[in-house]
Amino acid sequence: MCGIVGYVGKHPVTRVLIEGLRRLEYRGYDSAGVTVVKDGQFQTLKSTERVEALAKDVAKAKLQGTYGIAHTRWATHGGVTLANAHPHHSSDGLFSLAHNGVIENYLKIKKFLLEKGYTFQSETDTEVLVNLIAYHYQKQPVAADKNRFLESVRRSLRHVEGTYGIAVICKEHLGEIVAARRGSPLILGVGDGEHIIASDVAAIALHTQSVVYLNDEEIVHVTDKDFSLSTIDEDDIEAVIHTVDWSIEEAELGAFKHYMEKEIFDQPVALENAMRGRFSDDGSTSKFGGLNLSPQELRQVDRILFCACGTAWHACLVAEYLIERYARIPVEVEYASEFRYRNAPLDKNTLVFILSQSGETIDTLGALREAKRKGHKTLAIVNVVGSTIAREADGGIYQHAGPEIGVASTKAFTSQVMVAAMMALHLGRIRDMSYSEGQAFVEALKQVPAQVQSILDQSEAIKAIALKYVDAEDFLFLGRQNLFPIALEGALKLKEVSYIHAEGYPAAEMKHGPIALISPECPSVFLVAQEDTYQKTISNIQEVKARKGRVIAIAHEGGDFPKDLVDDLILIPECHPAVQPILATIPVQLMAYAIAAARGCDVDKPRNLAKSVTVE
């Protein structure tokens, strides 16, 4: 959600900034802008179209400079207009600023600044912040041993309530960038004679593999040759430089038309990576190196709480079914955005799991901090090494799914479900799961990448089925037990990328309301488990057909599924019950993608959505 790039160094600045914005497009945005400095003056261009349109404007204007900042905006305060697009300048013309986050007390600060004679051209909270910096710069010249620019930013941020990731430049301090964060991610790329500020490592990896992850309340002062890191309260910090563990080639489209399509087909490798090195030598259980909890401590857990948002919340629901079934531990699943505000009573022996692909989701980070504040052990399942949630949790598991660019999560979701299944196995074996049961579970997990590939090999047939329903405006997704979360996920994927209204329900709940929607114009996708609820789900399908509803069924091979009962049938391999949610996910992803592409939707950047939600 929003993206920042700042650069000072030896390369043409506009090329670096525009390329950085391109690599941040997946985060979601509705306008973009760039400010570069040439001959001591700001040169700024903005666009309410895509980054490519901004790039053409920059080339046409022959915009050049020695260093600068750039931004993609996802609107919070004020509509999508050129005036509201970033970067914003102070009314005295000295400062330019790009900002992610929300300044909650901006109206109070704005009133104060208006009384001091500062003017405003936009509706944004960001323009308030850049004028506040200008105010402190003019009001409080600092001692000769301090950098006036840096100190004006520092003093301004002490008055700010809310979240921010900012990059600021000043006409009177050429070749310098000041950046800071609270609640909104920010990373420093450390190069040879160059430094890059960005809200995501994707904008940095093309230039350097060495990065510094800023923590909340930290501020960095950058030149082309050096940088210094400190806190808002002026405590110096020794920077820890990390090495980025993925190459830029992993984020390239290759032969695929969209990133969503590519990432659907990445799943066999992503699932293999999630398992690599994580099984015991005797093949009877899973193992994790970063939990920081002993088997004895895990045996003391009486209850598990999972917190997440969006697609990750659906992965948590699958985890609930698997852990309760195979480890016999009570599990509760909470929306992270609700948990942090509702003061839920938790037993002292409750273990809290936090799921976030990016590791930066603001509500999920807030839930993590609330759980830690109350003294609970916290474990994170994240995909991004060095992310804030990964650093703040007591322990955790990296998914190793590789960069996910498409806004609609695909491989990150199935990777999360894979890790959840492995955790159910791990906890089950610590408790009362037998050796032979553990071996069967491990063998089932190891087969998943090949089974997923076998479904992907049917992709053209699945897409052909999907295209029969491209004109539908409503869909129902129905499943039972651990396939119910996949019904929710299938509905969400279709909504996200095709803008078709879709709902997910337990199949038996259809009679309690949703059956009123059944008609030839509202298709139903049934996810059919091969276990106890099989016949019950067949009865639910018959109820839909009796009302002239169209049915697409996703069922297992080798059964006696009544093919004549449904309009279309997609078969997935027979499998262990623990892994059927992963296999059932692949067809619904392919269907959502095919329908969205056929409807001409912007598949990778759906309207109004952001990849990483970093504002409340």
Q: Active-site positions?
A: 2, 611
- 363, 616 contact by CB (below 8 A): yes
Closest residue by Cα to residue 500 from 521, 523, 472: 472
Peptide bond into 523 cis (omega under 30): no
Count helices and strands in the chain by DSSP H and E runs: 18, 25
What does 486-547 look like in DSSP terms, one character per residue?
HHHHHHHHHHHHH--EEEEEEGGGGGGTGGGG-BTTB-EEEE--SSTTHHHHHHHHHHHHTT
DSSP 250: G
Cα 466 → chain centroid: 27
What does 37-83 look like in DSSP terms, one character per residue?
EETTEEEEEEESS-HHHHHHHHHHHT---SEEEEEEE--SSS-S-TT
Q: Cα–Cα distance between 479 and 493 in angstroms, integer? A: 15
Element (H, E) at 533: none
Q: Cα–Cα distance between 372 and 378 in angstroms, integer? A: 7
What does 232-245 look like in DSSP terms, one character per residue?
TT--EE----EE--
Q: Cα–Cα distance between 155 and 393 in angstroms, integer? A: 30
Q: Cα–Cα distance between 547 and 323 in angstroms, integer? A: 37
- 70, 78 contact by CB (below 8 A): no
- 133, 152 contact by CB (below 8 A): yes
The one-letter code for the residue type at 204 is I
Is residue 521 helix, strand or coil? coil
